[in-house]
Structure 1
Amino acid sequence: MLKVLEYCLVTIFIAVALFISHWLGQQAYTWMPPQATAEAQRVDALFSFLVAIGAFVFLGLVGMMVYSALFFRAKPDDYSEGHPARGSVKLEILWTVAPTLLVLWIAAQNITIYNQLNILGLKQIVHFPIESPAYAATDQPKPVAEQIQVIAKQWEWGFRYPNQAASHELHLPVNESTRLNLQAEKVIHGFYVPAFRLKQDMVPGRNIGLVVTPTRIGKYRLQDSQYSGTYFALMEADVYVEPREAYNQWIANLALNPADTTNFAIAEQQHSPKTLFQTGWQTGSLGESVAKSDRLTEGDS
Structure 2
Amino acid sequence: MNLKTIAGIGVYIAILVATSIWVGQQAYGWLPPQASAESMLIDDLFSLFSAIGAFILLGITGLVLYTVFTQSVSRFDTSDGPHMEGNVKLEIFWTAVPLLLVFFLAAYSYQTYQQMAVRGPMDLVHLHHMPGTTPTAYAADLEPEPVEEVEVYAKQWAWSFRYPSAGVVSADLHLPVNKRVRLRMTADEVIHGFYVPAFRLKQDIMPKRTTEFEFTPVREGTYRLNDSQFSGTYFAIMTANVVVESPDSYRQWLASAAAQPAVPAENPAYSEYTNKRLKRFGGWKTIAPAPPPLVNALAEG
Deviations 1:70-113 (CA, angstroms, capped at 9, x unpaired): 55445654613422234243x44443443333323322333234
Mapping for residues 251-262 of structure 1, pairs under 5 Å: 251-262=254-265
Does residue 203 of the first structure (1) align with residue 195 of the second (2)?
no
CA distance in 2, matches of 1:109, 1:181: 29
Q: Match of 1:231, SS?
A: helix
Q: 1:45 to 1:253 in 2, by over 3 A?
A: same
Deviations 1:205-229 (CA, angstroms, capped at 9, x unpaired): 3322221111110011111111254
Does residue 178 of the first structure (1) align with residue 181 of the second (2)?
yes
Q: Match of 2:204, SS?
A: strand
Q: CA RMSD in A?
A: 3.2
Runs of 4+ in 1 over 4 A off after TM superposition: 70-76, 139-142, 282-287, 289-292
CA distance in 2, matches of 1:53, 1:210: 31
Tell me, yes or no, if the aligned pair for 2:171 and 2:265 is still in contact at 8 Å: no
How far is the alpha carbon of 1:255 from its aligned partner?
A: 2.0
Give the unaligned 5+ runs of structure 2: 136-143, 294-301
The 10-residue stretch of structure 1 (41-50 or 249-258) with the greater mean CA deviation from structure 2? 249-258
Give the count of matched residue pairs: 277
CA distance in 2, matches of 1:29, 1:13: 25
Q: Match of 1:35, SS?
A: coil
Tell me, yes or no, if the aligned pair for 2:172 and 2:241 is still in contact at 8 Å: yes
Q: 1:61 to 1:184 in 2, by over 3 A?
A: same
How far is the alpha carbon of 1:56 from its aligned partner?
A: 0.8
Aligned to 1:269: 273
Q: 1:181 to 1:212 in 2, by over 3 A?
A: same
How far is the alpha carbon of 1:271 from its aligned partner?
A: 3.0
How far is the alpha carbon of 1:14 from its aligned partner?
A: 1.4
How far is the alpha carbon of 1:21 from its aligned partner?
A: 1.4
How far is the alpha carbon of 1:118 from its aligned partner?
A: 2.5
Q: Aligned AA for 1:48?
A: S
The 10-residue stretch of structure 1 (45-54 or 253-262) with the greater mean CA deviation from structure 2? 253-262
Deviations 1:37-60 (CA, angstroms, capped at 9, x unpaired): 111111111111111111110111
Percent of aligned positions with the same letter in both sequences? 41
Q: 1:110 to 1:267 in 2, by over 3 A?
A: same
Deviations 1:123-174 (CA, angstroms, capped at 9, x unpaired): 47xxxxxxxxxxx943998732222111100111111113232111111111
TM-score by length of 1: 0.79
CA distance in 2, matches of 1:98, 1:286: 53
Q: 1:259 to 1:79 in 2, by over 3 A?
A: farther
The 10-residue stretch of structure 1 (8-17 or 137-146) with the greater mean CA deviation from structure 2? 137-146
Mapping for residues 1-301 of structure 1, pairs under 5 Å: 3-70=2-69, 72-73=71-72, 77=77, 79-89=79-89, 91-115=90-114, 116-123=116-123, 137-138=129-130, 143-163=145-165, 164-265=167-268, 266-271=270-275, 280-282=280-282, 290=289
